[in-house]
Structure 1
Amino acid sequence: MTAPTENQDDELINLIARCALRDQAALKTLFERVSPYLNAIAWRILKSKELSNEVLQEAFLQIWNNAASYRPHLAKPLTWMASIARYRALDRLASEQRISAKFVAHHDGIEDMPGGDEPEHSVGASQLRFHLHQCLTTLGDNIKRSIELAYLYGYSREEIAQQFATNTNTVKSWLHRGAERLRLCLESK
């Protein structure tokens, strides 16, 4: 989307106002008009088609829910919507990084935990590594390898999909199911 003209701004303001009145046709039209632009913002931050599409959906849900609070005299409509998409993308990026860091810390950094020199810690760290290894072996090969690529090596879902010659939704499902199985398995140990 190029820089909006005054008429385009007026159209977007009108569509947002209609969204505030819960006009679903207005939301659809608004989505058609600005989703490529907002998705590009999310993609530049996340570098992932799948994540940027998810963020776009979240952004439009927020636009829908907050349309009544939009004030045209404070921000142009595209600026307001772009900031929503940008903050959603930044939140998602931080969330993905936290998840990845937690997994790596639990898998690789166990020996670096406080008290690492104490014998009890060494035993506990060894047990945790053993249990994690046991739990990983209960996963199917594709799920196990996907988890390793994502959380240990930082591969994106798209990169993992390329490795397995599959689509990103399949990889997303593998990661979700695998993480849940790992959690349940480790909690039972």
Structure 2
Amino acid sequence: MDTPLTQSTADTRQLHDLLAAVARQDARAFHLLYQSTSSKLFSFALRILHKRELAEEVLQESYVNIWNSAASYQSSLAAPMTWMTTIVRNRAFDLLRRLDHTVEIDGDDFDMHVLQAMEGETVSPARHLELSQDAHALASCMARLENAHRQAMALAFFHDLSHSEVAQQLRLPVGTVKTWIRRGLDKLRLCLNRREA
């Protein structure tokens, strides 16, 4: 029976061999490397980011980086898992920095912005009350969304930015922005339907 040290050494050797194969663009080795390490690296990313969606995004970006950088891995400098963990950590911190530099949309102030966007120049008192109720319902549902989704939607719909402009503002890939907006709209629709019911 292997001792933990022997097992760890065997694992390290196996990961080293897989990384060497990935450096030669071996897709099967990359798949095996992913299977062997993704759960640990995902848990590590989740501890930093606290949100599954962000951790999944960082994990995906990290494995792209691992695929592209495997040839630069040097076993004399770090164990394979240490090297990959460093890539995940750097990606996670990069994402945190990007999110930290975005405009924060405060849910408490959101009803005022929504109301202003919905109001015309001539609004009757009855219509004003109806709009105000709609605005509060919308603001309440928006406040329940994840902060990243709320920011993306606010920039797209209340600041009239395109998906690519939102992506530029948030320093994120366009695909991520589209996904966040789509998910945010789905959650918003569900929330508003529940309130009406």
Shorter chain as normaliser: what TM range?
0.5 to 0.7
Q: Is the 8 A contact 1:136 1:182 kept in 2?
A: no
CA RMSD of aligned residues (A): 3.6
Letter in 2 for 1:180: A
Alignment-derived partner of residue 21 in structure 1: 24
Distance in 2 (CA, whole Å) between partners of 1:132 and 1:57 is 35
Whose RCO is larger (CA < 8 A, sep 6+)? 1
Distance in 2 (CA, whole Å) between partners of 1:104 and 1:141 is 15
Pick from 157, 160, 177 the counterpart of residue 184 of structure 1: 160
Q: How many residues are matched?
A: 143
Alignment-derived partner of residue 160 in structure 1: none
Alignment-derived partner of residue 8 in structure 1: 11
Distance in 1 (CA, whole Å) between partners of 2:85 and 2:46 is 12
Is 2:48 the partner of 1:45? yes
Displacement of 1:156 in angstroms is 5.2
Distance 1:103 1:71, change over 3 A: same
Pick from 76, 81, 102 the counterpart of residue 79 of structure 2: 76
Matches within 5 A, 1:4-153: 5-99=8-102, 102-104=103-105, 134-135=116-117, 145=140, 147-149=142-144
TM-score normalised by L of structure 2: 0.59
Structure 2: which 5+ runs fail to align? Answer: 120-133, 166-197
Alignment-derived partner of residue 167 in structure 1: none
Distance 1:90 1:136, change over 3 A: farther
Q: Is the 8 A contact 2:105 2:151 kept in 1?
A: no
TM-score normalised by L of structure 1: 0.61
Distance 1:184 1:29, change over 3 A: same
Which digits, 9 at most, give the CA deviation of each residue in 1:95-145, with x for residues without a partner? 22222xx2349x96xxxxxxxxxxxxxxxxxxxxx87753477x9988755
Q: Is the 8 A contact 1:17 1:67 kept in 2?
A: yes
Letter in 2 for 1:36: S
Displacement of 1:66 in angstroms is 0.6
Query: Rg larger in 1 or in 2?
Result: 2
Distance in 2 (CA, whole Å) between partners of 1:66 and 1:41 is 20
Structure 1: which 5+ runs fail to align? Answer: 109-129, 158-171
Q: Is the 8 A contact 1:136 1:144 kept in 2?
A: no
Displacement of 1:57 in angstroms is 0.5
Identical positions, percent = 30
Alignment-derived partner of residue 121 in structure 1: none
Distance in 1 (CA, whole Å) between partners of 2:40 and 2:72 is 22
Letter in 2 for 1:88: R
